[in-house]
Structure 1
Amino acid sequence: MENCLLWCKRTRTIYCLVLGLTLVVNCVLMSLLNSHVMSFLPVEHVVTSIKSGITADIHQVETNHDLLLNSIPKTFTSGYMVYTCNNESSVQCGGWSDRLSGILSTFVIALLTKQRFLIHHNHSFLLEEFLAPNEYDWRYNASISQKGNKANYDLMNKDSKKAKKYLYGKKDLDKYFKSYVNLIHINWDFTEVFRARPHIGRDVPWITKWHYADIYKEVYNYLFKPSERLSRALNSQKRRRSKTACAHVRIGKSENLPDDPPRHRESLDTLWNVFDDLDEDVYDLFIATDDESLLKRASGRYPNQIIETDGQIGHIAKLKKGYNTEVSLKMFLDFYMLINCDILILTESGFGMAAAYIRNTDSDLYCWRGPELKPCSRYTVHHMYEGMMLAPPGLFPHITQISDKNKRKAL
């Protein structure tokens, strides 16, 4: 080691310093290992990790965005994998978070099969009217169906069990999705299923490295940006102050949604107490809700602070076939308002969770459970509201068993 350090002084190169430091680390590690202090760690794993840390400043670190871009095939096989939510089908798509989960799952299936990913969405609204392609053109054109055969695949709810052997990786996905145009109806997040696949770290590396929050944020921003129409509507929102405090309050059954099951029923005093304590010279206030009466109460209580978005309160999962532009516009305006809030309060709903995942900050996020607001984060919100964004555990009972088996193989 002494000779190596003398050589460093002569050459004075950064690579030599790295080599010398690596040798020092090796000596220290071997000493610790001989004393059984670190006998529980594989030497190669520790040395490799430390070397990676040493060279991090020399070589550019791969960002999340780079990792996502590198997972996109350079060349596609023939055919298309199409997330489908259309008026022609009798299959229900669910709410906005259900649709985002379906889009994500279809996107991953497209990566695994190396087919082009597209979105065919005209149920309740034409998706392109509110969201435009950002870095990837996902727009569906009916003319592609003329180039080859097409088939519908219903992976909604319990019907998705039929495909589990293929999704797990026990069978070849290409032998399940055999058509030129594969129209997939799906409303579950299958992240845990994909993570159980052999070699998933090679095929789609980011799905094993990222948390749910980062998966949704990176994929959403890769695929989408506000359309010109939505951008104009967002820019027209009147904001008088430098910051915005927001809440998403999913009430459920109400006068404007009489057929919806009851949801959040806690006293609104909890919310009013938070808003009352905020500096009214600093904070505008915003509430996204499915209850018209709640908005009226908030507007009456904070007439000079409340921001109101255009459109009509409703739920896209409850709309009949055809377009409802007013409900859809309000949904997207509310969604982007929540994404850009400085303070965000959530109730139990996938809509609010999705906004929290995509949000640009992790600070000042609170989960409303019972009479209290509990501090939470993009990385813990799914523990607070289990089942709102992910496939229910009972849907795929063998996930844990298969995942553990694959982990043992990897060791």
Structure 2
Amino acid sequence: MPRYIKRGAIIFSLSFVSFAVIHIFYTYTGVHETPRRTDQLGNGVDTIDRDLDNGVTRESGQGRESVKIRLSDFRESSKNFFLDKPVTNIKLSNNDVSSSRKEPGRRARYLVYRCGGKFTFCGGWADRFKGIAIGYLISKVTNRTFGISITHPPCDLQRYLLPNQIAWNIDLSNTVVKSKKNSVGYHDVISDVNFYHSIEKMDFDKYLKEDLVFFKGNLDYVDKFKNNYRYLNQNAWLANLTRDQIYAKVYNQLFSLAPDIQRDLSSFLKIARPTPSHKLVCSQIRVGRNPTNPRDRANIGSKEDVSKVWRFLGQYNDPDKYRIYVTSDSEQVRTEAHARFGKMLVDTEGPLVHIDKFTNSTSVCDGMRKLILDQHVLMNCDVFLLTFSGLGRMAAYLRQKESGLFCLVKHEIVSCSAHTLKELYNVFG
């Protein structure tokens, strides 16, 4: 081969290699991207929240704000994206379709219930669980990995509840934030009645266009979701379940109690039922705005309503047969319960806190712990009288027992059924 041809081949090869090296450098360092804020607040989601303020593209839609941004590469890390410690030894169910089986040629997609950052108004725990439940159900029919991120209040949810069958504490830093083409969307449907009514016919793949979707809702959507004709085959497992059964099944798939709370619950129930024949009689009394909870709505429970609850519980004032448990949003009610029932009353420790309207940030995590424990106590009650309370209704759903359920409705106490509470109280949630 002539010498000048060899030189040309060598020069061409070196040029090609140099071009490839430069291309790889620019691709993996991201220096060609628009500069963006990378200061983290200890949580990758908060970084994304900040980036949204300077997002590349914003889209408006009814009942939501959808924001698309480009995400630069994140280094793989064993640290959990949402929580301080990754969960290990999580057993996933074989039929879990929310594990986002990636279709050929399609990027992995995610739906994350989000409370915190840009989503600071989420409601109480019952409202949040309703949003979590519908987010999880939507993730199943759209083949998205489901996650939960709650940073408002700043209490690690895994201090109270652990993933059970579904690993909802997903590590996005190792998965979704891999490609610069990934998009992020925020869908806030809190108290959005239009979304509530449209969910029965909605095509969720068209509604949720982004790869990583942060979602927040607070209404009782499961009946309309169950009847969506587009997903009847995928939702066949819901066909013969009532509303309360759906919530109970979803709750059990997502959550198990943290070990220390499980120990406290077991100890409490031993005291509440000192003999096998003892029954636990409970009431969840919500009064609304009061000195303990000054930011809540007014005129939810009147003094006359509370008096009727006391008379109802008084029927069981026999220490040889019963123990009485009262939880409330009012320390005054709690104090009066102790005065009325004395040693017959069993109680859980901790402050009374509304986790969305708290005034004391130092006690809110202790209050959230008590809230989760209280819900599980109510789920174990033999007789349960509930008032106009989302927490009470949710506990009645998860209790999965028709007997011994009573409701204070329109100033009267009536026997009621868990699967008709929504209609009985005439509520969206």
Using structure 1 for the length normalisation, give the TM-score. 0.71
Q: How does 1:24-63 map to 2 (within 5 A)?
A: none
Name the amino acid aligned to 2:289. Answer: K
Which of 151, 154, 158 is 1:128 aligned to?
A: 158
What's 1:34 paired with? none
1:174-216 residue CA offsets vs partner (Å, 9 max, x unmatched):
3432333211122223224424432422021133432111110
What's 1:114 paired with? 143
Q: CA RMSD in A?
A: 2.6
CA distance 1:107–1:75, change in 2 (3 Å): closer
CA distance 1:119–1:297, change in 2 (3 Å): same
What's 1:401 paired with? none
Q: How does 1:348-367 map to 2 (within 5 A)?
A: 348-367=388-407
CA distance 1:280–1:72, change in 2 (3 Å): same
What's 2:170 paired with? 140
What's 1:202 paired with? 233
Provide the secondary structure at the position in 1 that maps to 2:344: coil
- Per the TM alignment, residue 226 of structure 1 is displaced from its structure 2 partner at its CA by 0.5
Asked if 1:376 is matched to 2:416, the reply is yes
Asked if 1:174 is matched to 2:213, the reply is no
What's 1:386 paired with? 426
Comparing 237-246 with 337-346, which one deviates more in the overlay? 237-246
Name the amino acid aligned to 1:362. Answer: E
Q: Distance in 1 between matches of 2:359 and 2:213?
A: 25
What's 1:249 paired with? 285
- Per the TM alignment, residue 85 of structure 1 is displaced from its structure 2 partner at its CA by 1.3
Asked if 1:273 is matched to 2:306, the reply is no
The runs of 5 or more residues in structure 2 that have no matched partner are: 1-92, 103-107
Q: Is the 8 A contact 2:286 2:329 kept in 1?
A: yes
Provide the secondary structure at the position in 1 that maps to 2:184: strand
- Per the TM alignment, residue 156 of structure 1 is displaced from its structure 2 partner at its CA by 2.1
Asked if 1:336 is matched to 2:376, the reply is yes
The runs of 5 or more residues in structure 1 that have no matched partner are: 1-67, 390-411
The structure with the greater share of residues assigned to helix is 1
Asked if 1:264 is matched to 2:301, the reply is yes
Asked if 1:301 is matched to 2:326, the reply is no
Provide the secondary structure at the position in 1 that maps to 2:253: helix
Q: How does 1:303-322 map to 2 (within 5 A)?
A: 303-319=342-358
CA distance 1:309–1:192, change in 2 (3 Å): same
1:69-101 residue CA offsets vs partner (Å, 9 max, x unmatched):
757368623221111112x22441111111111
- Could you tell me the percent identity over the aligned residues? 29
Q: How does 1:220-231 map to 2 (within 5 A)?
A: 220-231=251-262
What's 1:290 paired with? 329
Q: Distance in 1 between matches of 2:94 and 2:314?
A: 45
Asked if 1:76 is matched to 2:120, the reply is no
What's 2:217 paired with? 186
CA distance 1:273–1:114, change in 2 (3 Å): same
Q: Distance in 2 between matches of 1:163 and 1:380?
A: 18
